[in-house]
Amino acid sequence: MKIAQPDPVYLEKGDKAVILLHSFTGTTRDMKELGEYLNSNGYAVSIPILEGHGMGPDPLIESSPSEWWNNVIESYEMLKRKGYDSISIAGVSLGGILSLKAAYSLDGINGAVAMSVPQGKDIEDINKRVVSYTENFMEFIGRSDEEIDERLKELEREPMASLPEFESLIDEVHSSLGGITVPLAVKYGGKDAALYEESAEHIYNKINSEAKDMKVYPNTGHLMTKGKDKTLLFKDILDFLDSAN
């Protein structure tokens, strides 16, 4: 089965822009509904596809956090070239980590939303996600049980090479939170693992933003943009971005 890579999304509008970042193993589809909502309310929207995502496990395994960060930079610079001076950023999970990094690294970011942000993830935890994604993908494309078992054993023997860099990225961002001064909203799902609530509280307490907010969405799991509370989530994000602009 041939898998078509999801395209990056760009929606033109007005004089304000927002970058939306999907999760690890996710795609632009996870952020598109939020993007269309924000676009209908006056925002230009850029949703990059992070390197290696959307094409199955092998391209993902060959990708790295430095490439994902470059995707963020490319999206930011594209919006700057188009004349947008007011740029916000929002992301889920890995996208939330990258949004936080942008908030303290990129001078032109004037507001950020971080959802379902991991903290304290080690290589074993992240590799379990890769293994699960690989198994689900191979089942989806109709591979045999024997092929799947062999591939999963390979991943257990030889994990994704860039996992140490991924772990370091998470640690770097959490240790750099004091450098964030732009308006920031932190969000987590009430049905997600407890560590995401702990992470949200850590972020909220460590940032130096005067305008900051933290909120739980009780009927939502990890992928917040697809959760049962998404209508409220989308409105809250819009209200926050409007206040930051």
Residue 32 phi/psi, 5-degree rounding, is: -65, -40
**Catalytic entry in 64, 192, 199, 209:** 192
**Structural domains in the chain, sorted by start:** 9-119+168-244 (3.40.50.1820)
Helix and strand element counts for the chain (H, E): 9, 7
**Catalytic entry in 22, 53, 174, 222:** 222
**Catalytic entry in 23, 64, 86, 93:** 93
Output the pLDDT for position 3.
Answer: 65
Output the pLDDT for position 155.
Answer: 82
CA distances from 23 to 68, 92, 100, 136, 137 (A): 11, 5, 14, 16, 16
Output the pLDDT for position 4.
Answer: 65
- In the residue annotation, 174 being an active-site residue is answered as no
User: Nearest CA to 100 among 26, 27, 187?
Assistant: 187
**pLDDT per residue as tens digits for the range 78-123:** 999 999 998 999 999 999 999 999 999 999 899 999 999 999 876 7
Output the pLDDT for position 1.
Answer: 52
Output the pLDDT for position 126.
Answer: 83
Output the pLDDT for position 2.
Answer: 57
For tokens 């972020």, the residue is 203
> pLDDT below 50 — which residues of the chain?
none
- In the residue annotation, 192 being an active-site residue is answered as yes
- In the residue annotation, 239 being an active-site residue is answered as no
